[in-house]
Chain A
Amino acid sequence: MSLVEIVRFALRGLWANRLRSLLTMLGIIIGIAAVILLTALGNGASQYIQSQIAGLGANSITVLPRQPPQSAGTDGRPLTTADVDALSDPQGAPDIASVSGVVTSSVTVDAGRASSGATIVGSTPSYFPGANVQIATGRAYTEADVAAGRKVALLGATVVEDLFGVGADPVGRTVLVNGVPFDVIGTLVPSGNGGGLSNPDENVLTPLTAVQGSLTGFGDLSQIVVQARSTEGQAAAETEVNSILDRRHGIDNADDRDYQVISARQLADVLDQTLGAFTLLLAAIAAISLVVGGIGITNIMLVSVTERTREIGIRKALGAPPSAILGQFLVESIILSLVGGAIGVAVGYAGTLVPLGDFRPVVLPSAVVAAVAVSAAIGIFFGAYPARRAARLRPIDALRRE
């Protein structure tokens, strides 16, 4: 008996119970679609976050002061401009391209009647590339501005909006920062909340000396922004930052540090791990629904065998070999799971075309291959048991059953 005949018998059997075949397939369709959709979600989220992190400035390293643990026996030292100078030494830190000391402070900015809460960020020109800040209109402040302590400012998008309205260009105007007048020399490209520590759109960027001279005094730094020479050199730059600051702050044990180093790379690593676990979880949930679909197939095939026991008996009495009966039921369940799998892939794909918030699901080709392979395996695995039961029946036992 040829395979063609077996497939014809199987198709006839499935067609005779159209609705049931369809409902059985639904289990597989949902399972496969879930696998494709959920892994695509995880993958899309991962790609989205990676791109957001890239926006933070891939080569930048931020140093923040920190309260050392009690065991260190000291309150630690603050970050100072002397630290900035040490890090800027090209001999001691060959992998570091630029260093900027930063002072930040929460302030109120006024222009006429309008007022906005903002964070003033005083630094040096290298802060712009270091923090990946893009200028929309006007210009950045210069070393000369810093040297002279000029009170000039660049406004973040939210600040511009609060003070001057959407789309206004405030370059040339004057704003009051906590009552101190600053000339607006530029505006910043909206970052759309860079996924980072604070919202750069609410920043007011000024020369370090201007902030220190008029608002905070010439004290400690809030942070130091370091830019590595290259993405590859980032880890080396981090090591250099650590060794220089450890030496200057008299730290022997990494646990006792009075500062902490944060880099986009570290952030990316952590998020990558978290997302990996998240994607795995989604895949596991989807896999469970696949197994449930497979059990559905077994169940229906068992019902089908039971229901058609008499027919199996007749076929055996007419000389159907066990292999023909086995083949017929096995092929039935394989067709169910393969057709279900194909529809599931289509549904899963269609599902990923729906954008969700900021990011889009991105289909993992490996997930599609795995899902199809699994659906074929389900057909064979879950179909084999009922099919074998059918094939093993003694003709007379099958015929006697009602």
Chain B
Amino acid sequence: MTSPDESGPGAGQTLAVEHVIDVRGLSKVYGEGDTAVHALRDVDLTVRRGEYVAVIGQSGSGKSTLLNMLGCLDAPSSGRYLLEGLDVAYLDERQQAVLRNRQIGFIFQAFNLIPRTNALAQVELPLVYAGVGRRVRRERAEAALALVGLSERADHRPNQLSGGQQQRVAVARALVTGPALLLADEPTGNLDSTSTGDVLALFDRLHAAGRTIVLITHDDEVAARAERVVVVTDGRLHEVGVPG
């Protein structure tokens, strides 16, 4: 499963660092003064390599805020975030882009596919930014689409795909660069039970193959698949431990 050229920055340390994610005292405040929202307060979180973690919590508790920070899509107000032992705050924009490209696969609740672009091109996109040549790119994108069972839909545009299919394209796109860390924000929130089953089965397989997965969900059944569940309540994080 893990592709041979998984050699982004920090790959040299991959074996040396035990924690893929190491977050200390992380806070996020939106806005200022009276309207300031403390979305995260002093959060500590470590995720070991190969762990499958579910994040649950009420709406507005700060789950997405946390995941965006873990995905280097947003910067914290204070606190430290080490990804593969690397302090993200010290990276410039270009280095963060490389990090997002090679180390992280991000799956959005809203799919976030690019309009008017077929499934194969969607999946190829991260490889284009990684500088992978055309032929290799195509092969790997086709392999990723095969993995999510969408080989027949390679030339379909987002508006020609069902919700579940779109989400599987998004998963393929997140996987195609072979990232160590997979982050998913309510990946099944918009899916029916069959599609949810498909996507979760895929996650199980990835987990079995050694990927580190952090996933947000409202669904207890989804959380039950994870090894470990953490709860976010009003910007604070609590361990729940291994679910029954």
Asked if A311 and B97 make an inter-chain contact with CB atoms under 8 angstroms apart, the answer reads: no
Check B241 for interface membership: any CB of A closer than 8 A: no
Chain B residues lying within 8 Å of A16, measured Cβ to Cβ, are: 116
CB within 8 Å for A394 and B74 given contacts A314-B112, A316-B100, A317-B106: yes
Q: For residues 166 through 197 of chain B, which have their beta carbon under 8 Å from a beta carbon of chain A? A: 173, 177
Task: Mark each residue of chain A from 298 to 332: 1 if its CB lies under 8 Å from any CB of chain B, else 0.
Answer: 00000000000011011111111111100000000
Instruction: Write the nearest CB–CB distance from A301 to chain B, whole angstroms.
Output: 19
Asked if A317 and B100 make an inter-chain contact with CB atoms under 8 angstroms apart, the answer reads: yes
Check A5 for interface membership: any CB of B closer than 8 A: yes
Asked if A322 and B97 make an inter-chain contact with CB atoms under 8 angstroms apart, the answer reads: yes
Instruction: Write the nearest CB–CB distance from A148 to chain B, whole angstroms.
Output: 97
Q: For residues 98 through 116 of chain B, which have their beta carbon under 8 Å from a beta carbon of chain A? A: 98-102, 106, 108, 112-116
Bound CA–CA A320/B96 (angstroms): 10
Asked if B114 and A320 make an inter-chain contact with CB atoms under 8 angstroms apart, the answer reads: no
Asked if A319 and B100 make an inter-chain contact with CB atoms under 8 angstroms apart, the answer reads: yes
Chain A residues lying within 8 Å of B164, measured Cβ to Cβ, are: none
Check A166 for interface membership: any CB of B closer than 8 A: no
Check B126 for interface membership: any CB of A closer than 8 A: yes
Asked if A321 and B97 make an inter-chain contact with CB atoms under 8 angstroms apart, the answer reads: yes
Asked if A319 and B101 make an inter-chain contact with CB atoms under 8 angstroms apart, the answer reads: yes
Which of A310, A319, A322 has a CB less than 8 Å from the CB of B130?
A: A319
CB within 8 Å for A322 and B125 given contacts A314-B114, A394-B74, A395-B73: no
Asked if A1 and B129 make an inter-chain contact with CB atoms under 8 angstroms apart, the answer reads: yes
* Closest chain A residue to B132, Cβ basis: A1
Bound CA–CA A312/B48 (angstroms): 32
Which of B75, B108, B114, B129 has a CB less than 8 Å from the CB of A319?
A: B129
Chain B residues lying within 8 Å of A313, measured Cβ to Cβ, are: 112
Asked if B68 and A396 make an inter-chain contact with CB atoms under 8 angstroms apart, the answer reads: yes
Check A364 for interface membership: any CB of B closer than 8 A: no
Asked if A311 and B101 make an inter-chain contact with CB atoms under 8 angstroms apart, the answer reads: no
Bound CA–CA A10/B62 (angstroms): 37
Instruction: Write the nearest CB–CB distance from A5 to chain B, whole angstroms.
Output: 5
Asked if A319 and B112 make an inter-chain contact with CB atoms under 8 angstroms apart, the answer reads: no
Bound CA–CA A323/B93 (angstroms): 10
* Closest chain A residue to B105, Cβ basis: A318
Asked if A318 and B100 make an inter-chain contact with CB atoms under 8 angstroms apart, the answer reads: yes
Asked if A1 and B115 make an inter-chain contact with CB atoms under 8 angstroms apart, the answer reads: no
Chain B CB within 10 Å, residue with most, of A5, A313, A317, A399: A317
Task: Mark each residue of chain B from 74 to 94: 1 if its CB lies under 8 Å from any CB of chain A, else 0.
Answer: 110000000000000000011
Check B201 for interface membership: any CB of A closer than 8 A: no
Check A71 for interface membership: any CB of B closer than 8 A: no
Asked if A317 and B71 make an inter-chain contact with CB atoms under 8 angstroms apart, the answer reads: yes
Which of B108, B112, B129 has a CB less than 8 Å from the CB of A320?
A: B129
Check B240 for interface membership: any CB of A closer than 8 A: no
Asked if A1 and B128 make an inter-chain contact with CB atoms under 8 angstroms apart, the answer reads: yes
* Closest chain B residue to A398, Cβ basis: B73
> Which A residues fall within an 8 A CB radius of B?
1-2, 5, 16, 310-311, 313-324, 394-396, 399
> Which B residues fall within an 8 A CB radius of A?
68, 71-75, 93-94, 97-102, 106, 108, 112-116, 125-126, 128-131, 173, 177
